[in-house]
Structure 1
Amino acid sequence: MTVRPRRWLTLALAPLVAASIFAAPAAPASADPDDSSSSSAQPDEKGDEIESNSTLNEVLESSNRKFVQAKAAVAKSTTTQKKLAIQINLAEAKRDSLVPEVNAIAAQQYRTGHLGAASFLLGSQGSDDFLAKAVSLEEINTLHDRKLRELNAAIDDVTAKKAALDAEVKQQQTNLVAMKKQKDAADKALSLVGGESLTGGFVDAVSKQAAPAPRNSEGGFSAEKCTVKDPTTSGCITARTLHMYQEVKKAGFNRFVGCHRNGGPFEHPKGRACDWSLQKSGFSVAHNADMKNYGNDLMAFLVRNADRLGIYYVIWYAQIWFPATGWHAYHGASNHKDHVHVSML
């Protein structure tokens, strides 16, 4: 009788293969500081980079759109992770249920074929016994091969699902970082310029960077006297005020401005303040979009460069900003809707 040849070497390797499954990866304002009254006479489709001509509204819209998108991605990722976790549990259960079966079959293979297939078959007590033994070996090997394939497939399934879960977790972390980044960008853009209530959103999203004013040896701004000729009046200003004046002009804000003014307890008579008008001469309350936007952009430039220039506070449109406390409602003699006031340290 002819017996189909087999790869009998797998019999001896079976226990090692069965044991190797355990190497699979494991589951992973107070008083008015400027008491003078007025009279008539700076995250898209290109990424997180903000274009120089973008307005606050555009930045907020882009940031909010990206925030919602990232939030949706996080929610989707969370759902996917839950599904993958269930699939991993099922795959691991299948793998674990196959381990004893494979080990049992491997043990039976080892016992049955211990003397070798040839001697095992030659020890038959007749043709019927030979046939029974041959069929037994064939069935054991077939069953063993099938169970090994099932076990290896289960191990691969668990490994693949765990890798997918790891990738999903990593992507979710990226989405969470993106979501926080967009929220922080919107919060910062709003807080710097007093929120949309102050600017209506019409303000440059970015401002030019001013050259830094000289500091003392300790890194601070020492008090300065009014010793420099004021380019806007016949009075005097401090060197730091002159630097600020020059940097604002350099940034393109070239409408009427007045700095030194006699009388009063605040910074103007000390040469430490300037009033930046919204028009080419004199002062007039903002009565069109051009004037309001000019004031918004000038205010934003001063606030964003406050640390570099040594600014004490900024007043604009009934709001006052201090570096230490941010924006607050301002109730002075002038509501500062006709000019931007800046005081220097």
Structure 2
Amino acid sequence: MPRTSFTRPRARRPLTVLLATVALLLGVGVVPAAAEPNEGGTKQLREQLEAAAKGHIEAKAKLDNSKRRQAALTAELKAVEGQLVELNAQVGEVAAQSYRLGRLTPTALLLKSASPDALVQRAGELDVMAQRDSKRLRSLAKAKATAAQAKTAIDGEVREQQKQLAALAKKKRDAERALATVSSGSSSGFSGGSRSASPAPRNSDGSWPSESCSVDDPTTDGCITPRTLHALKQAQAAGYKRYVKCFRTGGDGEHPKGRACDFSAATSTFKDETATGGDKAYGDSLANYYKNNASRLGVLYVIWYRQIWMPNTGWRAYSGSGSPAADHTNHVHLSMY
């Protein structure tokens, strides 16, 4: 459940210290600090990547929303144009009738009426016809105005789409410029992870709602955003159940914001070694799972095995400092919008 404050008991800390002490006494090696994962790169790089990926996602949502509005307006215009054809035919009949019979004046009405009763009847009939013809003319004028408004709105949506396409192109250039210092170019990516995730909630216009670090992180004593929790649970439901940690204090990346998780390629913890064999295949599949479901879950970027995926660049080579943690060869890093 969301909450406004975040406090945690420290009851588990003595137990952690005790277990570490027992491990040392028994000669069992604890995970070295170098094995702990990190987002990699400098603070400036992370900020640039976040801005580029966020800008792409926001522009894409606006573009998709504009396309939906354009499709609805086009359907409305088509329906109105169908009405115009029918109304124009009806108004044409009115004009033809007036031409054949001539304009009816009070004098003509009296001359054509053989008796007072016939006069009353004729006057009633003409009143009904006048009301019908007036309604047709009003309907025609309204339909023409609606069609003109729809055409203007469609033109506006086309301009909006051109604007968002330009924004997408700019954010792609920003991402490529930021990655230039740590990337040697595009890469082939990974296989697996074909299962579809259940979509996370969006706003009515297709954008992602703003979220804070407000729900319990099931992997640590910290907090994460509801969307990050959804992404974590979806992966676990898809079978990715190995060791994972999300919230982390300190630093300037996504972890302290509750918008990132690190998924170990190994089963029970983070190993200070490059994943191979089944561990490598597990990481490949998980990284591709989040790439395939990025638009459903709100994925900002994924880093795995010296590669990074962003929505505006695809998979790109991504080198760290050479350690398994920095190169992300022992864990998959997920950052969320």
For the superposition of Structure 1 and Structure 2, which TM-score range results when normalised by the shorter chain?
Answer: 0.3 to 0.5
Q: Between Structure 1 and Structure 2, whose CA radius of gyration is higher?
A: 1
Normalising to structure 1: TM-score of the pair? 0.42
**So what's the TM-score if we normalise by structure 2?**
0.43
